[in-house]
Amino acid sequence: MIRQGLYRVFVAARASLYLRGPIPTDQAQFRWSRQAKNSFFSASLTLILVGCGASQPEGPYYETQAFQVDPVSSKDRKKLVQAATKILKSRPLVVGLDGRQKIIRQAHIARLPLVVLKAYVLAGKIHKPGAEIDILIPVSHGKKVPVTLITKTDGSVTILAATKTRSRARQAAYIPRFRNGDAQWSSAHRKTLRLAMSLLPKTDAAFLSDIPLSRYKTARDKRKGAVYLQKGCTAEIRVYNRAFDMDKLQFVGAPNRPYPASMRTVLHEVGHAIHSQPSRMAACQLQTQEQKLNTRIKRYNRRLAVARQRNDRRLAEQLETESRAIGRARKKLKSLAKAVESLMDRGPVLKAYQAATGSSPAPTVYGRSSLKESFAEAFALFRSDRAALKRAMPKAYEWFARGGHLKAADRQ
């Protein structure tokens, strides 16, 4: 009797988090209104770091850790102006409002919007040279203003803000297939995920055609907001509560078009689904071949039982030939299983990505933990904040812009 062989394959990957909204202004050279002066920040500069600690990276990168900033109001202006005036002596400041950038002099400080002052003072409190940080600054009436803080490696600071936000409505190329796990999808979270999928063109959305988005409370690793899971020929993206927790503190994208932080988390897992697609297709082939072989083995065992019962030597000789053929088929299946494992470890998409980016560090600290995470982080930024990826990892930006991930997947 020949035992049936099982050649199962499993792979898992992880994600990250983000969010955004509008911003008022002040008069003079920046044309900012008085209402903006009175609608912004708070004097307390307490920070709460959310996420895992990591060593300070070299060069430009996108910061994924969340900062909880205390609310700001007009009563904080005097203290913030005083603090900003001191910082400006050692850290040059550029402010970009609605796409127009200006070098800030001492005479301009008092006229800066409160959110810009708050972000600049925050830059003086943290040591993250090269970082781009998207923060939500609480202002009056429960409102939160998206501001991008960029700390250059030379110590200078750039702060980007906007007086208006554009419409985020887009036609989705892919309608997600939602599935409840030990938690249920809320209408608000469904809306966020649909918005995330609307950032994908049809070419990227095609990779998700049979991958559901499953809702769960907490991952085994409680730091994770989402995870891509692949077992054999099937896959899913699990989204956890933590993915949406960061939406209160962060955003992703530009200040004039902010997106919830959770969108980057899910797009990170979409990146894993894309680079894993060749291995999943090979796993499907493996599964089909395994089923055929198991059917063949069952038939062989039935005939063998008959041959023994009847003492049929002629049938026994035929089965001897069949047994050798099954042995060869099993060796081929084992080779295919090894090929699937190899594709899971580093398939054609990851190889092409590595060849294109060379020794360039990943765009985030977490992305620098492995090639897979570098790809997923770069892909998530390419779809949610291209300017951030272009600044942090220009080679990856250019490769995605040329459709490098699609060409590599097609070559499989």
Q: Exposed, middle or buried: residue 134 (CB in 10 Å: 0-12, 13-18, 19+)?
A: buried
pLDDT of residue 59: 82
Report the alpha-carbon distance of residue 51 to residue 68 in Å, rounded: 12
Can you say how many angstroms the Cα of residue 183 is from the centroid of all Cα atoms in its chain?
A: 22
Q: Which two tokens stand for residue 410?
A: 């097609």
The pLDDT-based confidence of 170 (bands split at 50, 70, 90) is low
pLDDT of residue 412: 57
Mean pLDDT of 241-256: 94
Amino acid in the structure at residue 264: R
Cβ 262 vs Cβ 243: under 8 Å? yes
More confident residue, 409 or 183: 183
Report the alpha-carbon distance of residue 361 to residue 231 in Å, rounded: 30
pLDDT of residue 395: 97
Report the alpha-carbon distance of residue 138 to residue 234 in Å, rounded: 43
Instruction: Indicate the range of 26-40, 78-92, 93-107, 289-303 predicted with least confidence.
Output: 26-40
Q: List C-alpha distances in Å: 85 to 32, 34, 103, 189.
A: 19, 21, 14, 42
Instruction: Indicate the range of 93-97, 116-120, 178-182, 338-342 predicted with least confidence.
Output: 338-342
pLDDT of residue 169: 59
Report the alpha-carbon distance of residue 227 to residue 184 in Å, rounded: 17
Report helix, strand or coil for 96.
strand
pLDDT of residue 3: 53
pLDDT of residue 243: 94
Mean pLDDT of 297-319: 87
pLDDT of residue 42: 31
What's the pLDDT tens digit per position in 23-40? 333 332 333 333 333 333
Tell me the average pLDDT of the chain: 84
DSSP string, 278-341: HHHHHHHHHHHHHHHHHHHHHHHHHHHHHHHHHT-HHHHHHHHHHHHHHHHHHHHHHHHHHHHH
Instruction: Indicate the range of 171-180, 298-307, 348-357, 375-384 predicted with least confidence.
Output: 171-180
The pLDDT-based confidence of 56 (bands split at 50, 70, 90) is low
Of 280, 249, 302, nearest in space to 134 by CA: 249
Of 232, 257, 268, 242, nearest in space to 14 by CA: 268
Report helix, strand or coil for 258.
strand
Residue 96, C-beta contacts closer than 8 angstroms, at least 6 positions apart = 102, 158, 159, 160, 161
Report the alpha-carbon distance of residue 267 to residue 22 in Å, rounded: 23
pLDDT of residue 369: 93
The pLDDT-based confidence of 99 (bands split at 50, 70, 90) is confident
Instruction: Indicate the range of 8-17, 90-99, 312-321, 361-370 predicted with least confidence.
Output: 8-17
| Residues forming beta bridges with residue 71, ordered by sequence position | 41
The pLDDT-based confidence of 315 (bands split at 50, 70, 90) is confident
DSSP string, 164-225: ---------S----EEESSS---HHHHHHHHHHHTTS-HHHHGGGTT--EEE-S--SSTT-S
pLDDT at 7 over 80: no
pLDDT of residue 108: 93
pLDDT of residue 319: 86
Instruction: Indicate the range of 106-120, 202-216, 326-340 predicted with least confidence.
Output: 326-340
The pLDDT-based confidence of 180 (bands split at 50, 70, 90) is very high
Q: List C-alpha distances in Å: 271 to 87, 158, 179, 237, 267.
A: 40, 29, 20, 11, 6
Of 1, 2, 7, 50, nearest in space to 336 by CA: 7
pLDDT over 90 percentage in the chain: 58
Q: Exposed, middle or buried: residue 362 (CB in 10 Å: 0-12, 13-18, 19+)?
A: buried
pLDDT of residue 363: 96
Mean pLDDT of 229-236: 90
pLDDT of residue 258: 94
Mean pLDDT of 88-105: 93
Question: Which residue, chain included where needed, has tokens 């600071």?
Answer: 157
